[in-house]
Structure formats: structure tokens, C-alpha cells
Structure 1
Amino acid sequence: MALVGLVMFALLFGSTSYVQFFSAKALNEDPLNSRSFYAELTRERGAILVDGTPIASSVPTDDAYKFQRTYGGEGLPAEQYASLTGYFSIASGSSGLERTENGLLSGTDDALFYDRVRSVFTGEEPMGAAVELTIDPEAQRAAWEGLGGQRGAVAALNPKTGEILAMVSTPGWDPNALASHDTETAQNAYNSLIDDEANPAFNRAIGGNLYPPGSTFKMITAAAALESGDYTKDSELDAPDVLSLPQTSATIRNAGGASCGGGGKATLEHSLVVSCNTSFAQLGMDLGADALDEQARKFGFGQDMEIPLRVTPSSFPADPNPPQTAQSALGQFEVRATPLQMAMVASGIANDGVVMQPQLIDNVRNSRTLDTISESRPHEFSRALSGDSAEQMQEMMVEQVRSGTGQVAQIPGVDVGAKTGTAQHAEGAAPHAWFTSFAPADDPEIAVAVVVENGGNAGSEASGARVAGPIAKSVMEAVIGE
């Protein structure tokens, strides 16, 4: 009996210790732990800042919860930033940065341990940390206003550091109603958000239903060709007016039935500049699906990533046959990508072949003392291209803006590189309009990707240059004009 009692005591002691010391953090952070959540409601959460201005903050109230979470700031509408901040709600928990950075914002993170200890002796209420974002408010505003009432998304990066300068998803939504202390009001706001057919709760820049990237994927196909060592930008490609696909009666034509070059031939550079479908489809089959997949992965396709918001991995189809490979080389078939992913592709090309890790948080500070708790530093994500291949890609993309399909992005006195895209995605539906670009080409400060769903206001008449190009240009000008 003594031995049994000793074993039971050891098991009880072990399980209690495990709960208190090893699983305590996970239990506290579990969204189903209502006790922990309600404790957080009575604590002043730290602010989420953009250029020093709060876009999410807590103000004192005289009700049982003590603090009311509010969204938006002076000149920074809540709808512009909702896809980043998310919400903190008594009815539906939290989302966005309010969820991923909850430990810091609520003051429960280990980084704030000494501040909590100090509060015990001073009698002050613990406070959450302030989280400063990398967002450039002028670039964010340009992206928001450019999209207007159209559904779509914009992602912009600093190619040298990976800092996210803009991230907009439309339609936007207002988190303030979800933060109400009236449970019925908060629940109704949540239900309306989730039931909305436009899916505003999706952050289209990094998730939701991913998009076929269309001809913007030709950047990856061209990069794979250069990296193979068998091609340069001056290499001649087969460029028929109509390309018959093997194993099928299907054919591929160029936009509007145009020709790419004389005599059924065109250089790689000319093919990219005029966005030739037939030459790139044949090039994709010549390179093979494995080479395209490998190159896409170097840019980030198929990779799990957190910025710290979770990014849905972009995808290249598994084991496509030759005609499917031809379609995939054009960013069609089952290729799917986020705007952030395509901004990473343009960013890697602009940064001499090196893709930097995207990051949304610039620094974290103690809300009371303003001391820096942590600060983000540039981190290399991958080397996607050799320096020589990247230089040739830069020259081709700059030429597309000078004389090709990307001329809409021309900025006086600045060399801009770009790639347009018009992506078919459903029979009878207007195409998605894409545009991805970087500037200045010789010393890049920004790389941006824009997608406008179903052609936006232009509908079936949409093209990437016509619909998405002006938006990308305005975002680039907002950054390089500062």
C-alpha cells in the first residue's frame, strides 16, 4: 500500500508540475481558455503603431473591463489596417496581429517578466508592450486609394531589408464594432464579417483563395532559363503565332493573336518585354516542370512563412504533363500565388538575386519606459538567382517599362522594372489583373505586387497594365518620392 501510495503521489506531483511549468504557456495562450482571455480584457493592451501613430490602442472605461480597444488613428483609417491588426473581441477572441502578438500586447510574454515583477512592488497595473510596424503610411494610403472599391490586394517590400512597406486587402472592414463591450453587438459584427460574400476577413495579400499569377510567373520561367546556363537574355526562342501542345488538340496563342517576332523566333528579352505566350510555353516545356518548380521554390513557393502573420504558401502543380507544364510556365493551370509572394520574386530580382525575409514588425517597446525590447534585423530568406542572372532579369524588366507592356509604370527620371499579368481563372469570368515592379532599378527602395480581382472596374476588358499598373506606380512614387 505504501508503494502504491508513493507511485500515486509521484504521478500527481509530476502531472501538477507539468501543468504548472511545462504546459502553462500553451494553456494560457489557448483561445479556448476564457479565464485567461477575460483577465486580459481588464489589462491595458499595448498599442500597434505605424510611424509612431497608434492604429490599435486601449482607452480607459468605467465598465468592468476597464479598457476599450479602439482601431484607427489620425489619418490612418481602421479599414486600411484591419487586415493587419485583426480584432480583439469579447465575443470572438482575436485575429491578425492581435492574436499573433498577444503575449507582447497583453504583457504576458516572457520578454516583459521583469516589468511584471516591478509592477508587483510599485503597485502599478501591468501594461502590454507597444508594437511598431514597418508599414510606410504613404505607401499604404496609395495602395488603398488605388484599389478603391475594387477587390484585390497590394504587397510592397523594401528589397534590401524585407521590410513590408504596404499591405492592403480590399474590401476593408472596421474592427471597432467587434471590440464593443456589448456581447450582442460584438457577436453581430463578427457574424456580419464572416457571412459577407466579399470575404473581407481574408487578407488577400497573404492568404484567402490564392490567385493564378498569370504572366507575372514568366519572371520565374525566365529566371529558370538563365539559371540553367543554357540561355541568356539574347538567346533566340521558338515563338510561333500558334503553339500546338503535345498530347492534346489544344493550342496557345498570344494576347490578341499577335506575333512575338519575325520568322517565328524571338529573343528571351523580347519575349518578356512583349509578354509572349507561345515562346514562354515552349520554353517551359524545354526546361521541364522540375526546373520551374525548383526555381519557384527558391523564391519562396511551397514554403511556410510567418511575418508574423501566417502566409499561405504559394504553389506549383505536382508532376504536370508537358501541356500542363506549358500552361504552368505562363502562370496558369494550377499555379497559385499570393501578392506577397510575387512581390518577393520582384524583390529578389531587384536585390541582385537575394530574397530577404519579409517582416512586418520593426520593433517592440516597453509602453511605460519606451525602452526597446526587441528590434528586427534584415535576414536573408534565400538566394534565388546568381548575380549575373539577376542583372539580366533587371535589364529585361526595365526594358518592359521603357518599350513593352509595362510602360504605364514609367516614372520620370527613374528606371523602373516591371512585369504585367492577366490571369484567366474561370470560364466566363473576367481575368485577374496583375502588376509587379521595382524602383529605382539601380538602387531599389521598393518592390510591389498588385492584383485586382476579375478585372476590377474594367471587367473583361482588363489587363494587368491598364488596371493594376497605375496602382503599383502610385505606391512606388509614394516611397521613392519621400
Structure 2
Amino acid sequence: MNAPLRRVAISVLVLFTLLIVNVNVIQVVRSEELRSDGRNTRVLAEEYDRERGSIVVAGTEIANSVPTDDRLTYLRQYANGPVWAPVTGYYSLVYGNVQMERAANEVLSGTDDRLFVRRLADLFTGRDPSGGDVVLTMDPAVQETAMAGLEGVTGAVVALDPATGAVLGMASTPTYDPNQLSSHEPAAIRAYSDQLDSLEIDPRLNRAIDARYSPGSIFKVVVSAAALSSGEYTSDTVIPAPRELVLPGTSTPLENFGGSACDPSGEQSLLDALTVSCNTAFAQLGIDLGEDRVREMAEAFGITGEGFDIPLTVEGSTLGDIENDAQLGVSSIGQQDVQLTPLQAAMIASAVANDGTLMSPYLVDQVRAPDLSVIDQTDPDELGEPFSADVAGQLTEMMTSVVENGSGRRARIPGVTVAGKTGTAENAGPDHNWFIGFAPADDPQIAVAVFVANGGGTGGDVSAPIARDVMQAYLDGQGG
């Protein structure tokens, strides 16, 4: 063999070797990664030939698959789709799957290891394979009330059972119809997606967990917890509360809302400072406590910058970098670089409601096989204890005063004592509006966070009434 032929033969051999290696990498090493990729429409097409499991809330299927006469055996349908879209997501032939459709895909598609025996039985009996069901923790009245309260605004509501961490509601607006993204008509699917793309605000984003925002004064609950936990303060401790505070090392004055005085004397108790949401008092309090104490308490609440799964993926909330006391003061009133998801905000209220114990939030109550037998049940899990029951009691007293005597009056529920905290956060546009709270204050059953983006008002005016309605809807359903 002459030299040119030898070089060609070697080149062909190398190419064949690379091809074989590449095939093995794709088929063996990356097989599971590619199979679970929501954009893999080949896998989706195969899955359409089996009955996908249902997503169930309070005994009702909010997502299920029905037989069709077209080339794809089953069609995914969503009952009251826009109300549940933030949680269910969609199951699309064109765009793959998102939210619970993705997080629970192995169960719903029937490929989960816990369904192996069922698949084996299907193989031997000739029975058509099918997926398992996912039963969520959510409460229909809470979800429907939250979505109705957010109608016409951009925002989110999260409601938790403070004793367990179960998610009772997760609303996000604006919303969309997942049925139109889950049809069997690719052209119609793309047309609807283009319509959503053209909107100024993307309704497919779940603002409860996928985005984080400046929390404003609801963060004062965290600073209060740090102060009370230090042993140097009680709810009755008198702290400085000037009309304005010149931030350390600067000539920049920090003012209270509307330039008001929190107290004519220039000082007030910690309870009164939270009740009227005194900016200067909490900025100075944060500075006096120091960054380490404020950050330690924030991290104890879960504000670490790290995301987590419930099983939907939750964006991490953060305190941000703090370079000096001036930034610490501004951070202590929930501004500067402090950024929270609405879920994280609900976790703050939940920890206070649960005597200082923070439970891990979770959305899935049960996983069921196609024969409806339970193959997995979620056990509540303690995430941590940010503070003692005594501190929780003092915070509850302070937050109750906010609703009874302060900025949270519009969260009052007749015959029920409500604890809460309002927040109004400056940003590039009109102010964001927040409310966090729980009820009943003496026997907490539900903890909530309400966020309205660029609401332009105050948390007490805009968000507190939504929180009231959500808590009322849940308590009514519990007979409370």
C-alpha cells in the first residue's frame, strides 16, 4: 500500500473510531440526560402513545389525558387551566414540558423506578402501559381566591400550612391557557406561543418561585427576629426612631414613608416600630446588630442565595453583598440588594406561625400507581429552627399589632386574630407591594405571602386585602 492510500485508510479508521465513540456517548453516557430533556420531542411522541398519569388536587384531576382518534393516542387536558397553570405547567408536543409536568414527568409518564413492577406486569399481560398520578397538597379555594385577587395585576401569592410546609396555594399572574400549548396541532401551538411572546409580561413565568424581588418592609420581621434572638432586645425595648437617619459614612438621609416621624420623641419600642414600619428605626437597628447577626438570621430563614426543589425548582433568595454600614442600614429595611421570592416570603411568616420552626415547603402529597395504590407519601420535614418559641411569641404579638393598629388593617378578618407585616419596596418603576402573615394568630392554620409588582400603592392597601381573602377562604373551608 502506497503512502497516500495508507493516510486515507488511517483517516477513515480514525473517523469510524470517533463515530463509534460518539454513538456510545450519546446512547450510553448521555442517554438519560437526553431522554429527560423537555425539548426532546421524540420521547414526547413516544409518551403520547401511553396514557399519562393525572395531576390531582382534592380528588379532582386538574391535568389528565384522554383518548383521541388522531395519530397521537392521547391528548393532555387541563381543567380550569389558567388557574392551575403556574403549578401544572404544560405538556407540549412542540415545547416539551415545564413545572409539575416536568418535575413529576417520570411518574406521570410511567418510567419511574417505583412503577417497575407495574410495567413488568403490563409486559406480561399485554395491558396498555400507563403513568402514575401525582396528588398535590393544594387547596382549590385558596388557589381560586388567590388567582381572583391577582386578576388584572402582575404578582404572586403563596400559602403554606405552617405546621407541615405543605403548599396550599401558588398563584401567579398574568396567566395563560396550557391547553393551547398542549394540543396536537403544532401550527396552533406555535401561534399561541408567539402570541404569548408578544406580550410585555410573559405569563409562563411562575412569579411565586421563578423570580425574586425587593421585599421592602416585610424584611423587618427578619431583623426583628435577629434582635429578639440576640437576648439584648425584647418587643418592649425602646430604640432610636428619628425622623431621618443620615447613613454612616455618607451625607445621604434615609427617611420614613412619606417623610413622617415615627414618634414625636424620636424613639419608640420595637413593637411600635414594627407596627408603624419605621424605616429609620430598623435601619439603625440593623446597623447596631451588625451584618453577621442579620445575615445569620436571614440564612436561618433560608435566604442563602441557593435554590431548592419542592419539587418545582425555586430561585434562591439573597441578602446580597453588604460592603458597609450604610448598605447594612438600607438592607435592613428590605432594600439595597435584598431579593426574595414570594415563596421565601411565605416561609418567613410560616416560621413565626410555627413557634420558630421552619418546615420544608412541598407540593406533592402522594404518588399513586395506575391502580390508585399509594407508592409514596411525603412526610413533613423540618428545615431548621431560626429562633425560639419565645421569640416567635414576641414576633406574633408584634405582627398582630401591625394588623390591629398599624399598616396591615385591611388584612383583618372578623372574629379571627391575624398577624402580618406589610411591605412597600422601591424599584425602577412604581413601588412593589407586599404582605406576609398568618391566621389565626393564636392557632395558625395558614401562612401567606402576597406580592404585587409595581402596584404603586402600599402593601397595606394593595396586598393585605388579597391576603385577607385567601386566609378567609381557607379558614372557611376548615370550618374556622
Distance in 1, Cα, partners of 2:262 & 2:274:
10
> Is 1:50 aligned with 2:53?
no
The structural deviation recorded for 1:425 is: 0.6
What is the CA deviation profile of residues 11-54 of structure 1, one whole-angstrom value per residue up to 9, with x for unaligned ones? 99999999877765434323354432221121110011111111
> Is structure 2 residue 472 aligned with structure 1 residue 477?
yes
The answer as to whether partners of 2:40 and 2:96 remain within 8 angstroms in 1 is no
Q: Secondary structure at 2:434's aligned position in 1?
A: strand
- The separation in 1 between residues aligned to 2:241 and 2:215, in whole angstroms, is 22
Q: 2:190 aligned with 1:187, yes or no?
A: yes
Which residue of structure 2 aligns with residue 147 of structure 1?
A: 150
Asked if the contact 2:307/2:317 (under 8 Å) is kept, the reply is no
Displacement of 1:93 after TM fit?
0.8
Which structure 1 segments of 5+ residues have no match? 1-10
2:458 is matched with which residue?
463
Secondary structure of the structure 1 residue equivalent to 2:181: coil
Matches within 5 A, 1:327-476: 327-367=330-370, 369-426=371-428, 429-455=429-455, 459=456, 462-476=457-471
1:64 aligns to 2:71 (yes or no): yes
Q: State how 1:27-42 maps to structure 2 within 5 Å.
A: 27-42=34-49
Is structure 2 residue 306 aligned with structure 1 residue 324?
A: no
Give the corresponding residue for 1:8.
Answer: none
CA distance in 2, matches of 1:226, 1:332: 21
2:220 is aligned to: 218
Q: Which residue of 1 aligns with 2:316?
A: 313
Alpha-carbon distance between aligned partners in 1 of 2:37 and 2:77, rounded to the nearest angstrom? 23
- Is the CA contact 2:53–2:107 (under 8 Å) kept in the aligned structure 1? yes
Task: Determine what percentage of the aligned residue pairs are the same residue.
Answer: 47
Which residue of structure 1 aligns with residue 10 of structure 2? none
- After TM superposition, the score normalised by the length of structure 2 is 0.92
SS at match of 1:481: helix
2:356 maps to a residue whose letter is G
Q: Deviations over 1:362-412 (max 9, x none)?
A: 111122x11001111110111111111111111111111111111111122
Q: CA RMSD in A?
A: 1.9
Moved over 4 A (4+): 11-24
**Residue aligning to 1:289:** 291
Q: CA deviation at 1:478?
A: 0.8
Tell me which amino acid in the other structure corresponds to 1:177: Q
Secondary structure at the counterpart of residue 451 of structure 1:
strand
Judged with a 3 Å threshold, the aligned counterparts in structure 2 of structure 1 residues 93 and 158 are, in CA distance, closer, same or farther, namely: same
Shift of 1:230: 1.3
Paired position in structure 1 for 2:11: none
Do the aligned residues in 2 keep the contact of 1:49 with 1:132 (CA within 8 Å)? Answer: yes
More divergent stretch after superposition (23-32 vs 146-155) = 23-32
Determine the structure 2 residue equivalent to 1:3: none
CA distance in 1, matches of 2:73, 2:280: 64
Q: Tell me by how many angstroms 1:242 deviates.
A: 1.1
8 Å contact kept, 2:54–2:133: yes
User: Amino acid of the residue matched to residue 453 of structure 2?
Assistant: E
Q: Secondary structure, in 3 states, of the residue corresponding to 1:308?
A: coil
- TM-superposed CA distance for 1:186, in Å, is 1.4
1:94 aligned residue (81, 88, 97): 97
Kindly indicate whether the alpha-carbon contact (under 8 Å) linking 2:110 and 2:132 is maintained by their aligned counterparts in 1.
yes
Q: What is the Cα deviation at residue 61 of structure 1? A: 0.4
Whole-angstrom distance in 1 between the partners of 2:40 and 2:175? 29
Moved more, 373-382 or 158-167: 373-382
The residue identity in structure 2 corresponding to 1:62 is D
Partner of 2:250: 248
Tell me if the contact between 1:194 and 1:201 (Cα under 8 Å) persists in the aligned partners.
Answer: no
Q: Per-residue deviation at 1:344?
A: 0.1
SS in 2 for 1:412: coil
Q: Distance in 2 between matches of 1:417 and 1:108?
A: 45
Q: Is the 8 A contact 1:297 1:303 kept in 2?
A: no
Q: Deviations over 1:79-125 (max 9, x none)?
A: 01111111111111111111111100000111110100111111111
What is the aligned length? 459
> Which ranges of structure 2 fall in alignment gaps of 5 or more residues?
1-17
After TM superposition, the structure 1 stretch with the greater mean CA deviation from structure 2, 287-296 or 336-345, is: 287-296
Counterpart for residue 82 of structure 1: 85
List aligned pairs for 1:195-274, cutoff 5 A. Answer: 195-208=198-211, 210-274=212-276
Equivalent-residue separation in structure 2 for 1:160 and 1:452 (angstroms): 26
Contact 2:41 2:96 in 1 (8 A): no
Amino acid at match of 1:309: L
- What amino acid is aligned across from residue 466 of structure 1 in structure 2? D
Tell me which amino acid in the other structure corresponds to 1:463. T
Q: Distance in 2 between matches of 1:34 and 1:140?
A: 31
For the structure 1 residues 55 and 220, does the alpha-carbon distance in structure 2 shift closer, same or farther, using more than 3 Å as the test? Answer: same
- The more displaced of 14-23 and 259-268 is 14-23
Partner residue of 2:166? Answer: 163
Contact map agreement 2:256 2:279 (CA 8 A) in 1: yes
How high is the TM-score relative to the length of structure 1?
0.92
Whole-Å Cα distance in 1 between the matches of residues 20 and 368 of structure 2? Answer: 38
State the distance in 1 between where 2:350 and 2:325 align.
30
What are the Cα deviations for residues 306-326 of structure 1, in whole angstroms up to 9, with x where unaligned?
111100001111133111111
Assess, with a 3 A threshold, how the Cα gap between structure 1 residues 277 and 32 changes in structure 2: closer, same or farther: closer
Decide whether aligned partners of structure 1 residues 303 and 185 sit closer, same or farther in structure 2, where only a CA change above 3 A counts.
Answer: same
Q: Which residue of 1 aligns with 2:8?
A: none
Q: Is the 8 A contact 2:38 2:95 kept in 1?
A: no
CA contact (8 A) 1:159 1:356 kept: yes
Is 2:39–2:95's contact at 8 Å kept on the other side of the alignment? no
Change over 3 Å in CA distance of 1:398–1:158 after alignment to 2: same
